[in-house]
Amino acid sequence: MPIPENVTEACHGARIVLTSWSVPEDTAETITLVVSELATNAIRHARCPGRTVDVALIYDSAKTIEIEVADGSPHHPIRKPYGPDATSGRGLLLIEALSDAWEVREREFGKAVWVRVLSS
């Protein structure tokens, strides 16, 4: 998938790839939401000058889709407490709820947040 310039582009690219793989619509919606959350976090909190945000999707053609969003920052995402009126801060909780597994992976420059989603 090409390197996204913004969250909308990342989600659109993911949708094109998921459609080409004939991923079921409910799973495609879940994955698009995961891509949106991860790309938003990477662009908002971890973008570094001279580094890109990379989005990768991997499908085993059966039930497992892996999403990886990498950025140039070595800082891991932090789940922070939020109030009931907060307009942000729930992204990692959403990732946990929508995924089968997720983790932060170190890279030579920065890190990647990896997520596994099982297809219906």
Dump pLDDT digits (tens) for 38-92: 998 888 776 666 667 889 999 998 899 999 999 888 888 877 777 677 667 678 8
Residue 2 lies in a domain: no
Q: Interhelix angle for 25-41 vs 91-98, to 10°? A: 150
Residue 58 lies in a domain: yes
Residue 28 lies in a domain: yes
Q: How far apart, in whole angstroms, are the C-alpha atoms of residue 105 and residue 93?
A: 18
Buried b (16+ CB within 10 A) or exposed e, 81-118: eeeeeeeeeebbeebeebbeebeeeeeeebbbbbbbbe
Residue 110 lies in a domain: yes
Please tell me the pTM assigned to this model. Answer: 0.85
Element (H, E) at 33: helix 25-41
Query: Per the structure, how many domains does the chain have?
Result: 1
Range of the domain at 109: 7-81+88-118
Residue 98 lies in a domain: yes
The length of the chain is: 120
Residue 1 lies in a domain: no
